[in-house]
Amino acid sequence: MKSHLFLGVLLSLWVGFVSWDIVAAEADTTARLAELNAYWKEVSRAVSEGDFEGYKATCHDEGVLVSGVNQTSYPLTQALARWKQGFLDTRSGKMKASVEFRFRQRWGDHATAHETGIFRYVSVDEKGEKKDSLIHFEGLLLKKPGGWKILMEYQKGPATKEEWDALK
């Protein structure tokens, strides 16, 4: 009888510890996703306002851009140099730009994140010509003292409107 009582107490303690771990993990995930949602919102803001320095601040200094279409990779600093004029044109009003993100998978812990989904980049030049791109992407991010920074952006290739809509 005493052994059953002892086993019952042990089982209750174990269930309590497991439950606490689950609650703590869910709280960590909720906090991480809230931070990452704020990160992606900042990326979107910087693009739409043509804030090059703000966008650059979301990138890790040693970040890498991987292009599935071009089957290459190179430092994000090179991509930033190429994209800078678009930011300047957006800031000056010569063009309009926006980016939106939808996610299929969001893995990570308190200091790392691997996010997979589709981004939609839309630009309208001064002639009114609109370009609307849907791109499958993966992002690998690190949480640094200054916030989340993208370490690797893998632009895998084009996505369809149906794939985009499925991620609502």
For the stretch 80-107, pLDDT in tens is 999 999 999 999 999 999 999 999 999 9
Tokens of 134: 């849907």
Which residues of the chain fall below pLDDT 50? 19-23
Q: Give the DSSP H/E element, type plus range, for residue 102.
A: strand 96-108
The CA distance from 165 to 168, in Å, is: 6
Reduced to 3 states (helix: H, G, I; strand: E, B; else coil), residue 100 is: strand
Q: Give the DSSP H/E element, type plus range, for residue 156.
A: strand 147-158
Give the pLDDT of residue 20: 44
- CATH topology assigned to domain 2-166: Nuclear Transport Factor 2; Chain: A, (3.10.450)
Give the pLDDT of residue 85: 96
For the stretch 140-149, pLDDT in tens is 999 999 899 9
Residues 6+ apart with CB under 8 A from 132: 120, 121, 122
Reduced to 3 states (helix: H, G, I; strand: E, B; else coil), residue 51 is: coil
Considering the entire predicted model, what is its pTM?
0.83
Domain boundaries, the chain: 2-166
- Please give the order of strands across the beta sheet that includes 72-75: 72-75, 59-67, 147-158, 130-144, 112-124, 96-108
Give the pLDDT of residue 141: 98
